[in-house]
Amino acid sequence: MLSRCLQLRGFMVIHNNFMRQAILEAQQAAREDEVPVGAILVAQNGTVLAKTHNQTIALSDPTAHAEILAIRSAGQALGNFRLLNTTLYVTIEPCIMCMGALLHARVSRIIYGAKDPKWGAAGSCYNLSANPRLNHTIDVQAGILEKECRELIQAFFREKRAG
């Protein structure tokens, strides 16, 4: 039992570390006046394949969400459109578009911070990650550093409404 507790604690430390990197990316997005979402795509061995944040405004591209940019970057780095045995850490629950791309890329796991009650496609509005009609499913874990992730995006929109 103690061994299992230590193992779980170790996983939480790892998850928190990668999510903190995603939060740094989200903070960079906010500094660039982009919606503050950050993503880190990690290989099974712990190698970071991509670190990105939203860039829809900078790139004039509605598909330039952090998750999509991470997939593109990792695919280029690996020379493969299949991102098997990878984990995506993202500050906010992926939207429908991003979930579709993550499913096509065969990402194994998504770990996200805060739910997105308006656009979330990993359990909030939709649950594409576990749809039995699709030929791939993604393991999803929510709530890693949830408070920090939620506060970051809420502060951004609060400032937008005030300004």
Which residue numbers are catalytic? 67
Q: How far is CA 60 from the centre of its chain?
A: 21
Cβ atoms 120, 140 nearer than 8 A: no
User: What totals of helices (H) and strands (E) does the chain contain, helices first?
Assistant: 4, 5
- What six digits make up the tokens of 7? 């193992």
- Number of Cβ within 10 Å of residue 105's Cβ equals 25
Pairing of strands 38-43, 86-92: antiparallel
State how far the Cα of 94 lies from the Cα of 117, in Å rounded to an integer. Answer: 11
**What CA dihedral angle connects 92, 98, 100 and 102, to 10 degrees?**
-80
